[in-house]
Structure 1
Amino acid sequence: MRVKINWDALGITASLACAIHCALLPLFLTSLPVLGVEIINNAFFEYFMIFLAFGVGAWALYHGWKKHHHQKMPLILFSIGMACLLLKEIWHDQHIFFLVPAVSLIVAGHYYNYRLCRKANHCHANDCNHDKLVA
């Protein structure tokens, strides 16, 4: 039995997990420094999460581009969003100005990729019969 992975769903999940991490982690984990654990504002952890999200997201978008729609716009939206995440790490004082567009663009790229993949529907001229109605 072969398991199929929905890479778009995984990419969207990783992007949303990143957004939740950025928004809620400071609220819930403010007691960690008292315990000796420094995860908030930990540059290594932040860059690791960004590169992990980039890897999963890029794979999902590549899969959609290669197998379904051959459109570059989802990858462009995603890449600009990821660049905003990196800029957020460089200019901490302006983080909210980079975070909101970053998350919006990353999710928009995945959503657009998802829509294009569904529109392609693995349908080729000789393989599909658009006139049939499924009851």
Structure 2
Amino acid sequence: MKIKNQTFDIIALTSSFICAIHCAAVPILLSFPSLSSLHFLHNPLIEWSFIGLGVVFVFVSLWPSYKKVHRKSGPLLIAALGFGTIALGRLDFSGTWEVVHTVFGAIMVAVAHFINWKLLRFRGGHKH
């Protein structure tokens, strides 16, 4: 289970950072007239796919790691705060509000997976 969860954490960490970069870069890119053809990147389906993928990775990596290996709730709490921050960004106050909260939330989810990955490595390194 350790190897599989570490792989899931690396994939989840990477997808969360890609989500953060996507959410930060797309509004900037679309502000340039020469890049307006990239408008398809600002698609709710892409955004919800990243969010859904993030939730799936919580259930296939963070939760089993917590239950079966390290019993540290930190990664779960950080991921929950990250998704809560993303949800706050969904409130339609302004474009800047959405970008800031979504990027920060995605980074928090990535950090949760990084911490989980480190906990799994630490545990794996001390078991013989």
Distance 1:77 1:51, change over 3 A: same
Distance 1:24 1:107, change over 3 A: same
1:53-132 paired onto structure 2 within 5 Å? 53-93=54-94, 94-121=97-124, 123-124=126-127, 128=128
Q: Which has the higher contact order (CA 8 A, sep 6+)?
A: 2
Q: CA deviation at 1:15?
A: 0.4
CA–CA distance in structure 2, aligned partners of residues 59 and 101 of structure 1? 22
CA–CA distance in structure 1, aligned partners of residues 53 and 72 of structure 2? 23
Percent identity over the alignment is: 26
State the match for 1:13 in structure 2. 14
Structure 1 segments unaligned to the other structure (5+ residues): 129-135
Letter in 2 for 1:31: S
Letter in 2 for 1:17: I
CA–CA distance in structure 2, aligned partners of residues 90 and 58 of structure 1? 25
1:91-120 deviation per Cα after TM superposition (whole angstroms, max 9, x unaligned): 351124413431332122111111111121
Structure number with the higher helix fraction is 2
Letter in 2 for 1:22: C
Give the number of the structure whose alpha-carbon radius of gyration is greater: 1
CA–CA distance in structure 2, aligned partners of residues 73 and 120 of structure 1? 15
Task: Give the alignment's Cα RMSD to 1 decimal.
Answer: 2.4
Letter in 1 for 2:112: G
Q: CA deviation at 1:56?
A: 2.2
Structure 2 segments unaligned to the other structure (5+ residues): none
Letter in 1 for 2:104: P
Letter in 2 for 1:108: V
Q: How many residues align?
A: 117
State the match for 1:31 in structure 2. 37
